[in-house]
Amino acid sequence: MSIQTIQDRLSTYHCQSALDEEHALREITQEVMLAGLARSDFFTQAGFQGGTCLRIFYGLNRFSEDLDFALRAPNRTFDLMPYLNHVQSELTAFGYHLEIQDRSHTDSAVKKAFLKDDSVGKVLDLNHLKADRSTKKIRVKLEIDTNPPKGGLFESKYLDFPFVSSVTVHDPSSLFAGKLHALLCREYTKGRDWYDFIWYTSRHTSINYVLLQSALKQQGPWQDQNLEIDLVWLTQAVQHKINTTDWEQAASEVQRFVKPNEWPSLKLWSQALFLAQADKLK
């Protein structure tokens, strides 16, 4: 294992710009981190979720920045640092010099850390990013929910880079439930939420209503309310969100995370488009 492994992987992305190389390097780093976690007992306790999970294991086209996890059972005393130290050791073998910043707070159920590297980009053969990118670090935020909402369903997926490893992930119905919770409860517009919404609805993905209901009761504007979530309630809530969203702003936010050949589609983002997609919820 060496920096050549990273170089060979980078060549498969056929990057056409500095932004392409930045996304590719981050994603390659994410995969090495996942493989490193898989060599510990991490995935016996936690599952992978979020946009990066959707991209790496289910084929989402947009790039993603963070690694998001949820424990399979609540454990507020869960200690993330031993696993991060293990990841650090694994990445050293590939030429990384990882810096870990633990941003966890004792009173928060969500443990956070930033993993940064400013060395590997200097030794790779980069066609677009300058090799002396001393102020440009590869940066990945890692979060794990130690008090996850009830009802998440898990399955096993396999990575074959940088070595074969098994990763426990949320199944698509649970991933969609998590996305809907974020979409409905986020206090600002995040175009990536809506890009993913199109991905799920175009595939008629089923929804884990048990998980969604639990998540809405746990956090957000419906917290602690005696909700009974069904298709009618959800459709109305999503339609209200669609009718109050700035679609030009949403499309602008997601643009840097998708390839230029998708940019014309972003010009079609509108209330009418997303109301049509909401009709596909089931």
pLDDT in tens, 128-181: 876 545 446 799 999 999 999 999 999 999 999 999 999 999 999 999 999 999
| Final residue before a domain boundary, out of 143, 170, 197 | 170
**What pLDDT is recorded for position 135?**
43
Are 9 and 62 members of one domain? yes
Domain match, 13 and 125 both = yes
CA distance 62 to 245: 21
Tell whether 165 and 193 lie within a shared domain.
no
Contact indicator for 116, 137 with CB cutoff of 8 Å:
yes
Both 96 and 54 in a single domain?
yes
Point out the domain boundary residue: 118, 146, 170.
170
Whether residues 133 and 234 fall in one domain: no
Residue 248: which of 278, 265, 270, 272 has the closest Cα? 270
Same domain (yes/no): 146, 31: yes
Instruction: Tell me what pLDDT residue 11 has.
Output: 95
- Which residue, 139, 170, 201, sits at the end of a domain? 170
What confidence score (pLDDT) does residue 141 get?
95
pLDDT at 115: 94
Looking at the structure, tell me whether residues 31 and 82 fall in a common domain.
Answer: yes
Residues 198 and 142 in one domain: no
Domain count, the chain: 2
Beta bridge partners of 170: 154
Same domain (yes/no): 165, 116: yes
Q: What residue numbers bound the domain in which 263 lies?
A: 174-278
The residue ranges of the chain whose pLDDT is under 50 are: 132, 134-135
Peptide bond between residue 162 and the one before it cis (omega within 30 degrees of 0):
yes
Q: Do 195 and 269 have their domain in common? A: yes
CATH classification at residue 120: 3.10.450.620
Return the pLDDT at 134: 45
Residue 167 makes CB contacts below 8 A (sequence gap 6+) with 34, 37, 38, 43, 48, 57, 156, 157, 158, 159
Residues 14 and 107 in one domain: yes
Residues 94 and 131 in one domain: yes
